[in-house]
Amino acid sequence: MGFSRFLASNGHSGVTAFVDSDPALQDKQVNGISVVSPQSLPVLREQYPSLMIVIAVALKEQEIIQMLGDMNFGSDEYKAYSNYCTDFYTIDVVGTCNLKCPSCAHGSEGMESPRGLMPFDNFKKVVDKAISETGIVSHISLFSWGEPLLHPKLGRMVDYLHQNGVAAAVSSNLSIKEDKLLRKLIQSSPEYLKVSLSGYYPDAYNQTHTGGDINLVKSNLYRLRYLIDKYQVTTLVDVNYHLYTNNCGKNLRKMKALCDELGFLFSTIYSLVMPIERLISHCKGVENSQLDRLRSLLLVDIDEGIGASSKVEINGCPFRDNQININWDLTVPVCCIVFNRNPDIMVANNYLKTSMTKIDAAKREVKLCGQCMAFGLPAYNMGFNRDRWAEIAGTKEIVDS
């Protein structure tokens, strides 16, 4: 999606189609562009003799190159996006949340962070600096630990990204009553809007999205459909369902049916435990009764997830190496999955006054990273080896008929 906006804003003809092996995406439109299966590639080549395939993936780049070779595509017929775009920016425009999900830092005891909103002027300066320091900035995520829909200028932030040829990604719990804000956001047409939830009925949802109101979320999903149609925008809505033992039966089926009815993408994730500080304590054997209550709801417990994901070898840490995460108050943590403002994990006190060279150098000095990698936490947080996670989940007792 970022690449597509990058092309359009740099005077190139657009993207012909997105190619994805996920059947849930095939035959759908993403930002008004059709998604086709990899098997359609030879047909596309017939139709478009100067077709160029751009491999823009977070994972499995080598596998895709191999597959293209097997389909007789020459190396002059594809390019890896990772050779051109290496830095991915996340701007946490809101440093607080209206919910207290027990899996999140906001819902766990002992986690503290200053609360506030990034002023719009600072936001513009952050974007300007990112663009001036990085070869290509094709997309920026406007969330990390906060709830972005609490920012009254979120729509204007999306507009500013678009004015600069940058695509916008937003993730929200959508348990908000701000009609005007939602309307303005949709008018600004962010490329990607993830809606995070964990149930269809309050009984299940309230346990894991504590403080939220699933009926309000559902009414906002209808409202989203209405606004998208009214303003004729192409925002991709991805309803991301967090799986637990108490919500993967009837709750899941009902939410999937609702998303099908509304024409939204429906994706699932085995719920993780966040943030890194809590995971490290767990790995060190520190007892935590609050965490134990959450663990009883997980389909894949922390150690099981770490074990499954550690089967995938990674060099370094993708969160440290490819991400630049800027907090609402301009501080820069080493990655998006640490939460506390411990000086040992901050790599800059003011992003606007610190060069990228300095930020990169400071990231290499963070001692916590050694421990985190030794415990296998980056791979766990990426959810690597999902097939194994699914096998483990399949052995668990489900309490949602």
User: Residue numbers of the site for ligand SAM (CB under 6 A)?
Assistant: 97, 101, 103-104, 143, 145, 147, 171-173, 194, 196, 240, 242, 269, 271-272
Binding mask 51-70 for ligand SF4 (x = CB under 6 A): --------------------
With CB under 6 A as the contact rule, the residue among 53, 377, 382, 393 that binds ligand SF4 is 377
- Report the partner that residue 278 touches, choosing among ligand SAM, ligand SF4, none (CB closer than 5 to 8 A by kind): none
- Report the partner that residue 242 touches, choosing among ligand SAM, ligand SF4, none (CB closer than 5 to 8 A by kind): ligand SAM
- Residue 15 or 334: the one with the smaller Cβ distance to ligand SF4 is 334
- Report the partner that residue 107 touches, choosing among ligand SF4, ligand SAM, none (CB closer than 5 to 8 A by kind): ligand SF4
The CA distance from 377 to 165, in Å, is 34
Q: How far is the CB of 360 from ligand SF4 (least distance, A)?
A: 12
Answer yes or no: are the C-beta atoms of 236 and 34 closer than 8 Å: no
- Report the partner that residue 338 touches, choosing among ligand SAM, ligand SF4, none (CB closer than 5 to 8 A by kind): ligand SF4
The CA distance from 195 to 142, in Å, is 13
- Report the partner that residue 271 touches, choosing among ligand SF4, ligand SAM, none (CB closer than 5 to 8 A by kind): ligand SAM
Reduce the secondary structure of 34-74 to three states and give it as a string.
EEECHHHHHHHHHHCCCCCEEECCCCCHHHHHHHHHHCCCC
Work out whether 359 is an interface residue with ligand SF4 (CB under 6 A): no
Classify residue 95 as exposed, middle or buried by CB count within 10 Å of its CB (0-12, 13-18, 19+).
buried
Single out the segment in contact with ligand SF4 by CB under 6 A; choices: 109-117, 159-167, 283-291, 365-373: 365-373
Classify residue 183 as exposed, middle or buried by CB count within 10 Å of its CB (0-12, 13-18, 19+).
middle
- Report the partner that residue 136 touches, choosing among ligand SF4, ligand SAM, none (CB closer than 5 to 8 A by kind): none
Work out whether 334 is an interface residue with ligand SF4 (CB under 6 A): yes
The CA distance from 185 to 395, in Å, is 41
The CA distance from 238 to 215, in Å, is 18
The CA distance from 106 to 306, in Å, is 23
Binding mask 258-297 for ligand SF4 (x = CB under 6 A): ------------------x---------------------
One-character DSSP codes across 122-148:
HHHHHHHHHHHHSS---EEE--SSS-G
Q: For the chain, what is the largest distance between any 2 Cα atoms, rounded to a whole number of angstroms?
A: 62
For residue 133 the two structure tokens come to 């320091």
- Residue 137 or 272: the one with the smaller Cβ distance to ligand SAM is 272
For residue 131 the two structure tokens come to 């663009």
With CB under 6 A as the contact rule, the residue among 139, 218, 282, 320 that binds ligand SF4 is 320
Name the helix (H) or strand (E) containing 229.
helix 214-231
Neighbours of 293 (CB within 10 A): 11
Binding mask 119-158 for ligand SF4 (x = CB under 6 A): --------------------------x-x-----------
Please tell me the chain's helix, strand, coil percentages from 3-state DSSP, rounded to the nearest 5.
45, 15, 40
Work out whether 335 is an interface residue with ligand SF4 (CB under 6 A): yes
Residues forming contacts to ligand SF4 in the complex (CB under 6 A) are: 97, 99-101, 104, 106-107, 145, 147, 173, 196, 276, 317, 319-320, 334-335, 337-338, 366, 368-369, 372-373, 377-378
